Amino acid sequence: MSREIKINKYEGNTHYSIHVVDKYNQEHHIGYERTLDNDTLAKIEQKACDIWADEVEKEVSLMDKAIAECIALDIARGVEPTLD
């Protein structure tokens, strides 16, 4: 997994949306910026480094585990699982 900083500006918007991805592929939204000058980029990089320094893998919730087990049971019984 890789760490990255994503800066997006959608057509017609006046602000950039900043996201940081940690090594566990968890995305953190750190805010919006109007301009991307050197000071702003330095602040973004510092916030990203703070996130990366404290990154922790999220635990899988009990609901997610239960759903995964139900799907595995369906597959073992030969039933096509549906996610509707």
- Please compute Rg for the chain using Cα positions: 19
> Taking a C-beta distance cutoff of 8 angstroms, is the pair 5, 44 a contact?
yes
Looking at residue 72, its pLDDT comes to: 92
- What residue has token string 């592929």? 25
Residue 8 lies in a domain: yes
- The structural domain count of the chain equals 1
Instruction: Evaluate whether residue 66 is within a structural domain.
Output: no
Cα(4)–Cα(22) distance, integer angstroms: 7
Inside any domain, residue 82:
no
pLDDT band for 12, please (50, 70, 90 cuts): confident
Q: What is the pTM of this model?
A: 0.65
34 within a domain of the structure (yes/no): yes
In this structure, is residue 83 part of a structural domain? no
Q: In this prediction, what percent of the chain has a pLDDT beyond 70?
A: 98
43 is a domain residue: yes
Give backbone dihedrals phi and psi of 73, rounded to 5 degrees, phi first: -65, -40
Write out the residue range of the structural domain in which residue 16 sits: 4-58
What is the reported pLDDT for 84? Answer: 67
In a domain, 63, yes or no: no
Distance in angstroms (rounded) separating the CA atoms of residues 45 and 18? 11
